[in-house]
Amino acid sequence: MPLFEDLIENVIQGDEATVKELIHQALKNNVPAKEILHDGLIKAMNIVGEKFKKCEFYVPDVLWAAQAMKAGIEMIRPFFQKSEVAPLAKVIIGTVEGDIHEIGKNLVAMMVEANGFDVIDLGVDVPPEKFVGSVKAHGAKICMMSALLTTTMPTMKKIIEALKQAGLEGKVKTMVGGAPVTKQFAIEIGADGYSPDAPGAVDLAKKWMAG
Amino acid sequence: MSMTSGFRSQCIPTYRVLTEDQIKEIHSATLEVLEKIGVRILDDTGLQLLKDAGCRVKNENIIQIPNGLVEESIHSAPSCIKIYNRKGNEVMQLGGNNVYFGLGTDLIYTYDLKTGELRPSRLQDVVNAARTGDYLEEIDFVASFALAHDVQTNLMYVECFKASLENSIKPIFFTAAGQEDLSVILEMAATVAGDYDRLREKPFLIHYAEPTSPLSHSKSAVRKLFLCADKGVPINYTPALLAGATGPVTLAGAITVANAEALSGIVLHQLRAKGAPIISGFVATTMDMLTSTAVYAGPELRLTHSACTDLYHYYGLPMWGTAGASDAHCFDQQAAMEAAFSILMGILEGANLIHDVGYLGQGLIGSPATIVMGSEIIGYVKRIRRGFDISRERIGMEVIQQVGPGGNFLLTEQTRRLHRQEHWRPKFMNRDNPDMWKEKGNKTYGERVTQKAIEILESHRPEPLPDPIRGKLDEIIKKARESLAEIKFVV
């Protein structure tokens, strides 16, 4: 269908205005929101992901596509409540207390969001209790924590422990990341997952939701 | 800084070693060598030509060249030579500060890609080099690279040229044993171009011949020089001198002697055919005083090389160069270090026709993986050379303001539009984080580049020659197998 081809192409190119216009037309013509999401937006982001893996797309290209995708999702979001579309899985993300580095966290947030998740970004310097409170309040399925400073890495362990104490073990998956964070560290602090980069975080989140 | 102040917003890093006064000092010393000491010409036709032009014969074949004739020849040689690819598209403008990179010739050993074994080179290695060079965008011209031991000796160069021709569309830098096999090669080239006139008009090959240090022009070299002059085929006529052995031990003396050899070549060439295309210059390296080997990647070579580039920029003549080569016998850290230093300096000084990318073992060993590494170093250094633009538009005050303190530049339209231009990205170098690197198999740079070289040979298919031309080339080779079989090439 040319509509979806057009939509996919414009998401890939990061042309937000055209994406909005196309979705507007589609909704007017009673194209189901579910189809717009799955056959248009998500398909486009999968292509973007492929291009990134093949080094055809760089980070800025992916982010522009992600923004166009996000704008599209916002337009069809009202239909989610009408149970036409299953609600998107919620993800809590933030840079841990004591750390104000956010570029990496933002990158992950945008890419995760662009792949069909509902991302609640808590920002930077986020204390453990705020992570716990937000996971509870939103019924989040995934909690992502970022740290750039080696001195703030131990805070991640505190957050994971606080989530357990709040009885959320098994209900929310924890994922850690940031330049000094390693797989070994993730295992040591009892995190459910770790990714060295943003696309890896997307892959892991998708895997969890599929499983 | 306003537009009207003559402010140039593009900064381009360059490098030179000689001041103008120093260039003139070397030039005048060179002229003195040619006029007072002279050069040895072992070819009678060449000797006669110089005599007729007013040169003085000192004793039988030593000839002294007056300053004026040297200056005249420098003047009559073209300052820019256009080189085409096999399909007739212009791809190199040899002159000014334009820098082009390519392969070298005649490597008797090959560092085997798959086994890491050092073995005699074969015709397949010539094919492999051409394909590798054809594939890599940073490689501007190809050459035999290897010397094929598995073909009839007198046809080595002819077979090598044919293999280069069939496996790359890029210009071919090539050697020959003598004028006889050179004639066969030129006939093949003319066949591809259409005829000799079209070959002259759009040359896609450069012959490489050399005088012999110190201060000698062999029969064979002069004949090859003249044949190219007659056909209007670009020739690279450049000596390789060993300081302390075939030339003075001092770098200044070595440069002066090597330059006298190169300039006397230009005189011979321009007397034979005024205005014919010649690429000049020299390599003046050291003989290692412990091992007696010819050093291909020492610091002295870089100094004399830079001096040569400065001199030929001053003369306004296209110059040859060497970089991306190493004295190491295998593709190792030394190979990388020497390749990187030499390519960096070659590009910054602005030498025009830089050969030898991928050379190992002091000009004895070829390594396709080293060519792949060289191509990445070239890309890296060319990014340095390109410099950056400091115009108001590129400073982008509005963007800095719009993002502001604590914001992020990743999402700006400016980042999206310009990141590919402003930031160079390596193809094989590691920039992964440690876990990702482990996940990809803990590979060293050498392993990744070797893998890439293998992939190129397995998957890259160069554009083939048209069938009718292949047929004609086969005919030429068939005839040459007989005509060259019994030839004894003169020295």
B434 inside 8 A of chain A by CB: yes
**Which residues is B427 bridged to in the sheet?**
none
**Inter-chain touch A196–B432, beta carbons under 8 Å:** yes
Q: Give chain B's radius of gyration (CA, Å).
A: 24
Residues of B with CB below 8 A from A103's CB? 408, 410
Angle between helix B156-167 and helix B179-193 axes, rounded to 10 deg: 20
Residue B431 at interface with chain A, using a CB cutoff of 8 Å: no
What sign does the dihedral A103-A108-A109-A111 (CA atoms) show?
positive
Q: Does A125 touch chain B (CB under 8 A)?
A: no
What's the rounded Cα separation, in Å, for the pair B171 and B403? Answer: 49
Q: Which two tokens stand for residue B235?
A: 């020739």
Encode chain B (491 residues) as per-residue pLDDT tens digits. 445 578 899 999 999 999 999 999 999 999 999 999 999 999 999 999 999 999 999 988 999 999 999 999 999 999 999 999 999 999 999 999 999 999 999 999 999 999 999 999 999 999 999 999 999 999 999 999 999 999 999 999 999 999 999 999 999 999 999 999 999 999 999 999 999 999 999 999 999 999 999 999 999 999 999 999 999 999 999 999 999 999 999 999 999 999 999 999 999 999 999 999 999 999 999 999 999 999 999 999 999 999 999 999 999 999 999 999 999 999 999 999 999 999 999 999 999 999 999 999 999 999 999 999 999 999 999 999 999 999 999 999 999 999 999 888 988 999 999 999 999 999 999 999 888 899 899 999 999 999 999 999 999 999 999 999 999 999 999 999 999 998 899 88
Residue B416: closest CA among chain A residues belongs to which residue? A60
Residues of A whose CB is below 8 A from B419: 58, 60
* Cβ-Cβ contacts under 8 Å, B425 against chain A: 58
- For residue B410, give the nearest of A60, A196, A197 by CB distance: A60
- The reply to whether A53 touches chain B by the CB within 8 Å rule is no
Six token digits for residue A28: 């007017």
Q: Is there a contact between A103 and B419 if contact means CB atoms under 8 Å apart?
A: no
**Partner residue facing A196 (CB), from B408, B425, B433:** B433
- Is the separation of the CB atoms in B402 and B479 below 8 Å? no
- Asked whether the beta carbons of residue B408 and residue A61 sit closer than 8 angstroms, the reply is no
Side chain identity, residue A98: G
| Least Cα separation, residue B415 to chain A (angstroms) | 7
Other beta carbons within 10 angstroms of residue A133's beta carbon come to 15
Give the span between the Cα atoms of A184 and B286, in whole angstroms: 52
CB of A57 within 8 Å of a chain B CB? The answer is no
Contact B410 A59 (CB under 8 A): yes
Whether residue B436 and residue A197 make contact (CB cut-off 8 A), yes or no, is: yes
* Pairing of the two strands B353-355 and B320-322: parallel
B237 class by beta-carbon count within 10 Å (0-12 exposed, 13-18 middle, 19+ buried): buried
- Cα angle B487, B103, B292 (rounded to 5 degrees) comes to 75
Mind telling me how many Å the CA of B444 is from chain A's nearest CA?
19
Which residue carries 């440690």 as its tokens?
Answer: B434
Which distant-in-sequence residues (6+ apart) come within 8 Å of B67 by Cβ? B31, B34, B35
Q: Under the phi-then-psi rule, with left for phi > 0, alpha for psi from -120 to 50, and beta for the rest, what region is A166?
A: alpha
Q: Choose among B202, B231, B236, B200: nearest CA to B221.
A: B236
User: Residue B388 and residue B364: Cα distance in Å, rounded?
Assistant: 39
Q: What amino acid occupies position A54?
A: K
Instruction: Using CB atoms, pick whichever of A14, A63, A200 lies closest to residue B410.
Output: A63
Residue A46 makes CB contacts below 8 A (sequence gap 6+) with none
Distance CA B80, CA B61 (A): 33
Query: Given CB atoms, is B478 within the 8 Å cutoff of chain A?
Result: no
Alpha helices, DSSP H only, in B57-121?
Answer: 67-76
**Which of B409, B411, B424, B438 has the most A C-beta neighbours within 10 Å, making it the best mutation to test the interface with A?**
B411
User: Which of B411, B425, B435 minimises the CB distance to A63?
Assistant: B411
Q: Tell me, yes or no, if A203 comes closer than 8 A to chain B by beta carbon.
A: no
